[in-house]
Structure 1
Amino acid sequence: MSVNIPRGTQDILPGTVEKWQRLERIATDICRTYQYKEIRTPIFEHTELFQRNVGNTTDIVQKEMYTFTDRGDRSLTLRPEGTAAVVRSFVENKMYGDPNQPVKLYYNGPMFRYERPQSGRYRQFVQFGVEAIGSEDPAIDAEVLSLVMDIYRAAGLKKIELVVNSLGDQESRQAHREALINHFEPQIGEFCEDCQSRLEKNPLRILDCKKDREHELMKTAPSILDYLNDYSRTYFEKVQSYLTALDIPFTIDPTLVRGLDYYNHTAFEIMSSAEGFGAITTLCGGGRYNGLVSQMGGPDAPGIGFAFSMERLLAAIEAEGVEWQTDDRLDCYLVSVGEKAKDYTVKLLHDLRLEGIEAERDYQNRKVKAQFKAADRVQARFVAVLGEDELEQNKINLKDMETGEQEEIPLDELTSTLLKKLEAK
């Protein structure tokens, strides 16, 4: 019986996983320079966490969640996004009591959404995200945007565009909500069922509809920017001024609303303009969520964050033809001749690895010539050849595979000699 991988998932094999590891190092190293610390939350949470905080009107909650009932008759959901779980942890662990505010966190792990699989989009995908909780300073908005742009630049992307908008505070959103209802209500019957149900629940989400994006009313819908009160307008202007000071180009798009209910004030997306990337160009999305912490039972602690799919980032890198210089060469391959020499290389290999030398030996009982071919396949810098005569004389032959130079050295000096030669390369 053959069992295949579930639809919408993928195996990340050696040869590809190294690209993932490199991206993860880039992202985590940049987070470290910005003083963001890693947080790890459960892969599943109580379903209510996402229903109440992501929003019942969102596609995620209505159509895409993997939800199941456990043996205790509790409804649990595989996490479809990271922010709700991080904020839950922030509240539950009383991180708002930390004297160092805002609390700056990042996460990296699998998320799950039941959606139609396509290039760069999977039902199980890896999301890297950042959350800064505890500050309503527009400068932290600019810092979060600067951080993610630094990640993309360090990954080698050039054809990217930052798009920003303001969703305003509660007062601004309420005024805009009423204007949207008045605008769409007369012809709402021409829109899809989802939009019709959103009219009263959350009319802002109509602007995010993919089915009706070409409808004439979409083009003339009231702009949130026309309904910002003085505080919201000033806040958004500050964010823009900081981005300009940081030399981060951006475009304002008043139709950008994002797909989650908890956003307010700053909202943003980063798009790829690389040829061949695909019809869906969004790489990253995020925004401010000032009421989410209190909604979960915590204090009135404002927050902002972003998340991006690692799969989408890798697809953008491929679309731009970014070439990475990787060094996967092995430091030393041990070739043995004879049974005693082969047995001795077990400990010798261990000793090399203890000193941080990337080393390997033969496990297939191959002849010497085949062992050298194996060393070539793994691009070994050095090959150390040990025969039974050399073992009795406490010597070993060391060959530099780049220059072809060979030398016989004391066996107990192999590690120190290799360390010096590798450092010199």
Structure 2
Amino acid sequence: MSKSLQAIRGMNDILPEQTPLWRYFESTVARLLDNYGYKQIRMPIVEFTELFKRSIGEVTDIVEKEMYTFEDRNGDSLTLRPEGTAACVRAVLEHGITGGGQVQKLWYIGPMFRHERPQKGRYRQFHQIGLEVFNLDGPDIDAELIIMTWRLWGELGIRDAVKLELNSLGTSESRGRYREALVEYLSAHHDKLDEDSQRRLKTNPLRVLDTKNADTQAVLVDAPKMADYLDDESRAHFEGLKARLDAVGIPYVLNPKLVRGLDYYSKTVFEWVTDKLGAQGTVCAGGRYDGLVEQMGGKPTPGVGFAMGIERLVLMLETLEQIPAEISRQVDVYLCAFGEEAELAGLALAERVRDQLPNLRLQVNAGAGSFKSQFKKADKSGALYALILGDDEMAGQVVGFKPLRGQGEQQSIAWDALAAHLATCVVQG
């Protein structure tokens, strides 16, 4: 017997009963970003592998172990994008939209790919919404990104379940000095480090700071602190960010071990974390990357951005039961028609109503069926009301109007008055 076809491990179908919550989340974010003046950009999901090696860093876990890389028929090495910032930078450079100091405030949405061990909240194909801002170098834009997410958490009803962690990584020069001090300290305690941290000590020592190993964490207690190596510019920038967050009233925690997993970060880094999702605690993270555009061949261009994981935030909404009641209902009104003449009239009537009420979710029964079977489908659809067209209604040019979710008797509504009646019932009922 042939093996049944199924999705690749860690790449999941999002089924019809799940998509209303996804659409609610995505539309909430899109509306918020529109209100703050951000414009959407859409990039390919496949890029040349060199893009990610140059931007993320060849000795990062992502590039070394997690990327989906393959050769195409031309022999080019291509990679499914593991994150969005590098692709966005490539796009703005290719099209010259940041030249001459032009400020760009961009956002994107779509799937990312990393070959990780699948678990709840961590998948091989996952979806992100990301923001990138170019040619603004002050702490005010860093603060705006954080303030926007704070407002989003409030709109979604999850503000009490998340915590903001902040750090500054300084400039590349100050970070280099800190790296030297950290390597010297950790080398003196090499035997106490876990195996993964010993490897990172040689390749990406700052990543040792976010280890989950308890023994290594104990070693880090007395390790040098990044704050002691910050240059004056980075320190002033960080103080400016904190002052703005304080002015708005956004609480935060300073986390000196917060380094993020990508080489291109500088100065501000931040994470929104939660304890409601088990091991996968980060729901949104980002920071400043002032040297990345130049590193990728462009002119010096300040940049800052973040990405949020849609799967984790949807899971949070489910876990905290912050799902608006209206999104569970996909149909407002269900039209039942009995007989060919009624079916034809019902189609025409439904289209006239849709012309007048374009936001009404009106489903017309398909497949004919008895009175009982059509009403069963109307009830299963979740509709608030059923419309009925039979011989008697056709004769009087009326439609039967029957509440399905509450009290109320069936009424007869004239065809030309139906849209006005539905507007009142569905909006106010």
State TM-score, norm by structure 1. Answer: 0.92
- Name the counterpart of 2:386: 383
| Aligned mates of 1:408, 1:201 — CA distance in 2 | 76
- Name the counterpart of 1:43: 45
- Name the counterpart of 2:254: 252
C-alpha contact 1:329 1:381 (8 A) present in aligned 2: no
C-alpha contact 1:129 1:305 (8 A) present in aligned 2: yes
Match of 1:265, SS?
strand
- Name the counterpart of 1:3: 5
- Name the counterpart of 1:176: 178
- Name the counterpart of 2:270: 268
C-alpha contact 1:331 1:382 (8 A) present in aligned 2: yes
Shift of 1:416: 4.3
| Aligned mates of 1:329, 1:205 — CA distance in 2 | 46
Change (3 A) 1:138 1:338: same
- Name the counterpart of 1:284: 284
Shift of 1:207: 1.8
Aligned: 1:415 with 2:416: no
C-alpha contact 1:183 1:221 (8 A) present in aligned 2: yes
| Aligned mates of 2:370, 2:199 — CA distance in 1 | 72
- Name the counterpart of 2:408: 404
Structure 2: state its 5+ residue gaps. Answer: none
Higher mean C-alpha deviation, range 171-180 or range 318-327: 318-327
| Aligned mates of 2:198, 2:403 — CA distance in 1 | 72
Change (3 A) 1:329 1:315: closer
CA deviations over 1:35-72 (Å, ceiling 9, x no partner): 11111110111101101101111111111000111111
Change (3 A) 1:424 1:219: closer
C-alpha contact 2:194 2:216 (8 A) present in aligned 1: no
Higher mean C-alpha deviation, range 310-319 or range 195-204: 195-204
Kindly provide the amino acid, as one letter, of the partner of residue 173 in structure 1. Answer: R
Change (3 A) 1:345 1:138: same
| Aligned mates of 2:383, 2:254 — CA distance in 1 | 52
Equivalent residues in 2 for 1:18-417 (5 A)? 18-97=20-99, 101-157=102-158, 158-188=160-190, 191=193, 194-211=196-213, 214-274=216-276, 277-327=277-327, 328=329, 330-355=331-356, 356=358, 357-401=360-404, 402-417=406-421
CA deviations over 1:70-97 (Å, ceiling 9, x no partner): 1111111000001111111111111113
Shift of 1:389: 4.6
Change (3 A) 1:236 1:365: same
| Aligned mates of 1:115, 1:350 — CA distance in 2 | 49
| Aligned mates of 2:25, 2:195 — CA distance in 1 | 40
Structure 1: state its 5+ residue gaps. Answer: none
Higher mean C-alpha deviation, range 127-136 or range 335-344: 335-344
Change (3 A) 1:50 1:194: farther
| Aligned mates of 2:413, 2:325 — CA distance in 1 | 33
Shift of 1:217: 2.9
CA deviations over 1:84-131 (Å, ceiling 9, x no partner): 1111111111111377x5311111110000001111111001111111
Kindly provide the amino acid, as one letter, of the partner of residue 22 in structure 2. Answer: W
Higher mean C-alpha deviation, range 26-35 or range 202-211: 202-211
Change (3 A) 1:389 1:331: same
| Aligned mates of 1:258, 1:420 — CA distance in 2 | 52
Q: How many equivalent pairs are there?
A: 422
Shift of 1:386: 1.5
| Aligned mates of 1:280, 1:303 — CA distance in 2 | 27
C-alpha contact 2:112 2:125 (8 A) present in aligned 1: yes
| Aligned mates of 2:113, 2:63 — CA distance in 1 | 12
> Kindly, what percent of the aligned residue pairs are identical?
42
C-alpha contact 2:211 2:217 (8 A) present in aligned 1: no
Match of 1:199, SS?
helix
Shift of 1:326: 2.2
C-alpha contact 2:121 2:280 (8 A) present in aligned 1: no
RMSD: 2.2
Match of 2:300, SS?
coil
Match of 2:349, SS?
helix
Kindly provide the amino acid, as one letter, of the partner of residue 28 in structure 2. Answer: I
Higher mean C-alpha deviation, range 151-160 or range 239-248: 151-160
CA deviations over 1:191-248 (Å, ceiling 9, x no partner): 4555444435432222233457635432222111000121111111111111111111
Higher mean C-alpha deviation, range 153-162 or range 70-79: 153-162
C-alpha contact 2:137 2:303 (8 A) present in aligned 1: yes
Match of 1:267, SS?
strand
CA deviations over 1:253-283 (Å, ceiling 9, x no partner): 1111110000010011111033xx2123222
| Aligned mates of 2:131, 2:332 — CA distance in 1 | 36
Kindly provide the amino acid, as one letter, of the partner of residue 129 in structure 2. Answer: F
